[in-house]
Chain A
Amino acid sequence: MSQVQMHEPQPDFIIRSRASLEDEHLQEALEKAGSGFVHKRQAAIDRIGNFEQLRDQAQRVRARALKNLDLYLLHFEKKVTEAGGQVHWAETPEQMRELVIGLCQKQNAKTATKGKSMVGEEVDLNEALEAAGVAPQETDLGEYVLQLAHERPSHIVAPALHKTKAQVQRLFRDNHALGERALDEVADIVNEARAVIRDRFLQADVGITGANMLIAETGTAAIVTNEGNGDLTATLPRTHIVTTSIDKIVPTWEDASAILRVLGRSATGQDITTYTSFFTGARSDQDKDGPEQFHIVLLDNRRSELLGSEYEKMLHCIRCGACMNHCPVYQSVGGHTYNSVYPGPMGAVLTPLLRHEEQDNQLPNASTFCGRCESVCPVRIPLPGLMRKLRDREQRERKHAGMAQWAVKLFCKLSRHPAVYRRLNDFNLRLVAIARGRKPRFQSLPFLSGWTRHRDFPAPEKSSFQSQWQQRQKEKQP
């Protein structure tokens, strides 16, 4: 597939955001998705009276899981093995790709159906499979559309959120032998994908899915979906491979419930998704169907280093997407602008931690700290706080401070002497007053062109509040 441009140097966030703001299709798609998620989530929460307590409970479960993560992972592994499955450990994306390809080749697999897996995206699994002669077939409708378009997901729950219906219609016309079949309605598109993918479900040698949770108690992988593709992928082929990461552990089934109760409501405003499936090991003699082989491939990719660090809470994330659904920056520029598998506020924290490339430092800066993400996060991750820590880290790691940083530093040093600060301000205000003349506003300002390119700047008065106040106090004296 097509990710040829992947390793080329990427233009930075600001340049990409300009392109995104000018992309009419993207803006149309974002507008259509827009507040839908927000309203549906609110309605789901309003139907029950204690969502805040459910959030607290989910947060406790995630914290508890991480507190004894090693024990839970080893217990999980033991139980998977007892149930006839196998657990594999990958420290890096490369290792995960090798492991999955090795498992496919052992089965002489030529085709693999795939359920949605963000970890699979994180390690670029499709490209690797294809290079190894295993044809990956995405089965989630959104992921399938993107496979046709040779694009990456722009949202962790709704991968093709950036695509309009018209764009999908065009893709299907170009890639399917449609004949007389109609594509006018969304229903037509869905039926077309259903028909094309159905055969591939039945013929695939291997099924690869992600996991929403790993239940340590019994060695169970839990997957939530709405389309049913995840189950067909997990159940029909001889081999089921789960690509997931070490942080997805919850201790018990009751703990899984605690997460499920906030996951659907936060993600799509559903009390629960249509399908919630729990897979434990390989098919036994009693089972009426299921794969003969069950493999869990666990990815670390720096997650273990975050444990016990000031960023640990990021590992609480349950991948619901509520933060990006409520983020005004994400809603303006879409997911691709982040140039990461994980976009939006959670991506702005996770990407610099997992990938830690120079360009990733821009992501935690591209936020107004409006705090809406934190206010909706089902496990109360302090996302703006973590972004702030990453901004601190960026400055610590920098060898040379930029102009803007020097300006901030100078301003702070001055501010520590309020009397000097006030006199300097009054001097500046007099200059500004001369510049403004009779204008109530500035249409352009040196050093503030970022502002005045798009808006006027109201002109200040001739002297500062502090000076005027002092003057008035003096006048009041007898």
Chain B
Amino acid sequence: MTDSRSRIIDRIARSTGGNFSTDSLEESFKALTVKHTLPPVQPQMEMADPVATFISEAGRNGARVTELESIAQVTPWLRDNTDNTSTSARFHLSPSILTQSLDWDGLTTTTETPTAAQSWGVVQAHTGIAETGTVMSLSDECPSGLLFLVERLVIVIAREDIVAYQEDAWQRLRARNILPRTVNWITGPSRTADIEQQIQIGAHGPREADYLVIDKPR
């Protein structure tokens, strides 16, 4: 298929001019990017307090947002909220949550791939994006599958990790120097409108999405 490749590229070059050397792709790419970098147009919206915007936008997109003072309050919150639903819930924890010294006493926890119906996922997000009430999770911090296989997803996000716009999230991602295999953006619970365009919450992914916004993460 190398022939296909060169034929396609040749046809494209007839229009673009193909004025670059294949030996210096990165330099050519960088030169073009620098040349074309303009201040981004971002949606006009209230952004005086990104955390407040994050909370209201996430809520509008179907996530349930709770503000907690400290990370230590996460497990009590889980206990309070499982009492009402089911006692047989299993909590699937992401590695990032496990590094927090939380008191899991009385909660069934695991790091296995979720399969049961009563599965909860508890994960810590890398970044929150106020613009759309979106959380960003990275596959070298949290298995991507966990975010989709559980029935109910609880995402812990530190107040200090919430940024205003998408571009701010990209800056944080670039600052890590490592791009994971998967960058997941999640905005609310899974949904579908494929039957008569009626929005139905809970398609293939979680039926519920809770965001816990933490004041003091450590």
Q: Do A and B bind each other?
A: yes
A residues touching B (Cβ–Cβ < 8 Å)?
A: 29, 32-33, 36-37, 47-50, 53-54, 56-57, 64, 67-75, 78, 83, 88-91, 95, 99, 139-142, 145, 158-161, 163-165, 168, 186-187, 189-191, 194, 197-198, 201-202, 216-218, 220, 226-229, 231-232, 234-236, 246, 251-254, 257-258, 260-261, 268, 270-284, 286-290, 294, 298, 300, 304-305, 307-308, 312
For this complex, 14 residue pairs linking A to B, each with C-beta atoms less than 8 Å apart, are A47-B45, A68-B20, A70-B16, A90-B1, A141-B203, A165-B196, A187-B200, A217-B33, A232-B204, A235-B182, A246-B8, A278-B183, A284-B180, A290-B182
User: A229: which of B95, B183, B204 is its contact (CB, 8 Å)?
Assistant: B204
Cα distance A251–B206 in the bound complex, in angstroms = 32
Chain B residues with CB below 8 A from A88, complex form? 1
Q: A91-B8, A271-B132, A281-B181 are in contact. Are A49 and B192 (CB under 8 A)?
A: no
User: B36: which of A29, A229, A251 is its contact (CB, 8 Å)?
Assistant: A251
Q: In the complex, are the beta carbons of B41 and A57 less than 8 A apart?
A: yes
Chain A residues with CB below 8 A from B210, complex form? none
Please, what's the 1-or-0 string for B183-199, where 1 marks a CB less than 8 Å from any CB in chain A?
Answer: 11111111111111110
Chain B residues with CB below 8 A from A217, complex form? 29, 33
Chain B residues with CB below 8 A from A304, complex form? 8, 11-12, 15
Chain A residues with CB below 8 A from B144, complex form? 231, 235, 277, 288-290
Which residue in chain A gives the minimum CB-CB distance to B32?
Answer: A68
* Extra 17 A-B pairs, beta carbons < 8 Å, given A67-B16, A228-B205, A274-B189: A32-B197, A33-B197, A68-B20, A78-B25, A89-B4, A95-B4, A141-B194, A142-B194, A220-B179, A229-B204, A231-B144, A251-B36, A257-B166, A272-B187, A279-B181, A294-B181, A298-B8
Q: In the complex, are the beta carbons of B61 and A271 less than 8 A apart?
A: yes
B interface residues, how many (CB within 8 angstroms): 80
For the A-B complex, the count of residue pairs with Cβ-Cβ distances under 8 Å equals 277
Cα distance A295–B9 in the bound complex, in angstroms = 19
Chain A residues with CB below 8 A from B11, complex form? 300, 304-305, 307
Give min CB distance, B147 to chain A, whole Å: 7
User: B185: which of A73, A74, A277, A308 is its contact (CB, 8 Å)?
Assistant: A277
Q: In the complex, are the beta carbons of B16 and A288 less than 8 A apart?
A: no
Contact of B106 with A by CB under 8 A: no
Give min CB distance, A293 to chain B, whole Å: 12
Give min CB distance, A350 to chain B, whole Å: 18
Cα distance A187–B202 in the bound complex, in angstroms = 8
Chain B residues with CB below 8 A from A246, complex form? 8, 12
Contact of B140 with A by CB under 8 A: yes
Chain B residues with CB below 8 A from A160, complex form? 194-195
Q: A91-B8, A232-B149 are in contact. Are A139 and B204 (CB under 8 A)?
A: yes
Q: In the complex, are the beta carbons of B26 and A288 less than 8 A apart?
A: no
B25-61 residues at the A interface, CB under 8 angstroms: 25-26, 28-29, 32-33, 36-37, 40-45, 57, 61
